Chains A and B, each alone.
Chain A
Amino acid sequence: LAKTTQPISMDSYEGQEVNITCSHNNIATNDYITWYQQFPSQGPRFIIQGYKTKVTNEVASLFIPADRKSSTLSLPRVSLSDTAVYYCLVYSGGYQKVTFGTGTKLQVIP
């Protein structure tokens, strides 16, 4: 199983770019990397998903190096409403267990 590791928490000022890195040393060839955002007392919400190199959407970018043992979620110009917990998710080995990371609590400061 691909275990994931993220920083427990991060602080950032409004308007700054935030990069959150997730380590997944045992990622398998067919695994996808997905990031979710969760606000208190709500279910997580999909942010972005990728397999290799770089993926960008209207919300974030996801950078995955060639060895795929880590990935970085990049949030451009964060605002107070981006304060949330961010989870890195790796789909392990086809139809095996879905593993969430420990989550990174991002606090955006005015």
Chain B
Amino acid sequence: EAGVTQSPTHLIKTRGQQATLRCSPISGHTSVYWYQQALGLGLQFLLWYDEGEERNRGNFPPRFSGRQFPNYSSELNVNALELEDSALYLCASSRSGVGNEQFFGPGTRLTVL
């Protein structure tokens, strides 16, 4: 069974640009979660999608947005990039419902110069 995949592996942008990160969940999983992990810090919850809808979002500004497609893959968009957006962005997927195990992808390392 293929795991969660994320692309690109690395992404370098400059301040003010936009970044688009992609995630493909495990087959059969309908929930996708996005997390931000700044260097040396814990995982900060960003967004949760389930069945194509945004279910909840963490304490991040509106320039962090995303969507989930009919095939349950997901995109995370970060507009007007700032230096402090540099981080590892992790995507996880799970079966629909609370408490189900989340399977994480390898992450996308975003560097903002």
Chain A interface residues (CB < 8 Å from chain B) = 30, 32, 34, 36, 41-46, 49, 87, 91, 94-103
Q: Which of B43, B99, B105, B107 contacts A91 (CB 8 A)?
A: B99
Query: How many of chain B's residues have a CB under 8 angstroms from any CB in A?
Result: 24
CA distance A102 to B43 in the complex (A): 8
| 29 sampled A-B residue pairs with Cβ under 8 A | A32-B99, A36-B102, A41-B88, A42-B104, A42-B107, A43-B4, A43-B104, A43-B106, A45-B104, A46-B101, A49-B99, A49-B101, A87-B42, A91-B99, A95-B55, A95-B56, A96-B56, A97-B45, A97-B58, A98-B45, A98-B48, A99-B45, A100-B35, A100-B42, A100-B43, A100-B45, A102-B42, A103-B42, A103-B43
Q: Which of A46, A91, A96 contacts B103 (CB 8 A)?
A: A46
Please give the distance in Å from B20's CB to the nearest CB on chain A. 19
CA distance A43 to B50 in the complex (A): 20
Q: In the complex the two chains form, is B43's CB within 8 Å of A87's CB? A: yes
Q: In the complex the two chains form, is B90's CB within 8 Å of A94's CB? A: no
B35 neighbours in A (Cβ, 8 Å): 100
Q: In the complex the two chains form, is A30's CB within 8 Å of B98's CB? A: yes
Q: Which of A32, A41, A46, A99 contacts B98 (CB 8 A)?
A: A32
Q: In the complex the two chains form, is A42's CB within 8 Å of B101's CB? A: no
CA distance A91 to B44 in the complex (A): 14
Please give the distance in Å from A32's CB to the nearest CB on chain B. 4
